[in-house]
């Protein structure tokens, strides 16, 4: 089933598409254009729909285009607010590949979404707050979900920072760390675009992407504030009075 990518953050680009998927999809098109033009088209698309695809007020620029073609794909490097990310674009200019392919011919429409993301209100740290959603709990403790992979560099960056913050809350929360597993997929499919890392805090707050652009110190503070929201500012030793 085709997933509709809404509020996708460029910082979540994960190159996890298999060669078989590449070949099958790209074999459908026999018209190939310039790789440079395809890369430029991808950047134009990202900036056109920046409100869905990039952090607030960020823009993307093309840093480089790899000379080699891999199964009709060209590796490109994008620069988003000084942070560089690698991705792939089909040389026919039809698809940009992240965790799943993005059809560059389709418009993004915030009203065309059945996921919780269309109802989100952005708060600190790039997190969004889901409307009309109660904090989900396990044994009366808010649940913190982390979805990632060992092959995802952004997940690798985020994981120890999140673990450090989570440890401060002790038994005030229930932590579900889903690395390379298919657990809690109902939560993942509801709150994520399909990209990783994805963080869901108490089913009330969520973010697709890491906090790399903000830096480690800022990310720790944002995580603490959001988890405190979910716990009702408990424990006081962490969240304050």
Distance (Å, rounded) from C-alpha 38 to C-alpha 76? 10
| Mean pLDDT (whole number) for 38-61 | 77
Q: Quick one: tokens of 107?
A: 């418009």
> According to DSSP H, which parts of the chain are helical?
19-26, 35-48, 50-53, 153-169, 185-191, 216-231, 236-239
pLDDT at residue 65 in the model: 83
Distance (Å, rounded) from C-alpha 198 to C-alpha 217? 19
- Rounded to two decimals, what is the model's pTM? 0.56
With contact defined as beta carbons under 8 Å apart, do 49 and 10 qualify? no
pLDDT tens string 69-94: 665 677 888 777 667 777 777 777 77
pLDDT at residue 122 in the model: 75
pLDDT tens string 54-64: 665 678 888 88
Domain segments of the chain as ranges: 10-103, 116-239
Query: What is the three-class DSSP state of 129?
Result: strand
Evaluated on CA atoms 155, 94, 88, 1, the torsion sign reads positive
Q: Which CATH superfamily is domain 116-239 in?
A: Glutaredoxin (3.40.30.10)
pLDDT tens string 140-170: 999 999 999 988 889 999 999 999 999 999 9
pLDDT at residue 240 in the model: 81
Q: Quick one: tokens of 138?
A: 């396990």
């Amino acid at each position: 089933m085709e997933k509709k990518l809404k509020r996708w953050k460029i910082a979540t680009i994960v190159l996890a598409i298999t060669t078989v998927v590449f070949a099958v999809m790209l074999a459908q098109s026999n018209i190939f254009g310039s790789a440079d033009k395809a890369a430029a088209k991808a950047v134009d698309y990202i900036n056109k729909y920046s409100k869905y695809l990039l952090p607030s007020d960020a823009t993307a620029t093309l840093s480089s285009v790899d000379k080699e073609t891999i199964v009709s794909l060209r590796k490109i490097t994008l620069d988003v607010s000084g942070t560089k990310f690698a991705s792939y674009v089909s040389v026919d200019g039809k698809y940009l590949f992240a965790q799943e392919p993005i059809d560059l011919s389709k418009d993004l429409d915030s009203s065309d979404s059945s996921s919780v993301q269309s109802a989100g209100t952005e708060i600190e740290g790039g997190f969004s707050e889901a409307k009309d959603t109660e904090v989900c709990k396990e044994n009366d403790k808010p649940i913190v979900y982390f979805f990632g992979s060992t092959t995802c560099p952004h997940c690798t960056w985020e994981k120890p920072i999140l673990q450090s913050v989570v440890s401060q809350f002790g038994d005030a929360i229930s932590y579900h760390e889903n690395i390379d597993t298919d657990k809690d997929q109902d939560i993942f499919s509801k709150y994520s675009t399909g990209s990783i890392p994805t963080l869901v805090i108490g089913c009330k707050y969520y973010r697709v992407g890491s906090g790399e652009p903000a830096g480690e110190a800022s990310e720790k503070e944002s995580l603490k504030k959001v988890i405190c929201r979910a716990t009702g500012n408990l424990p006081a030793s962490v969240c304050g009075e």
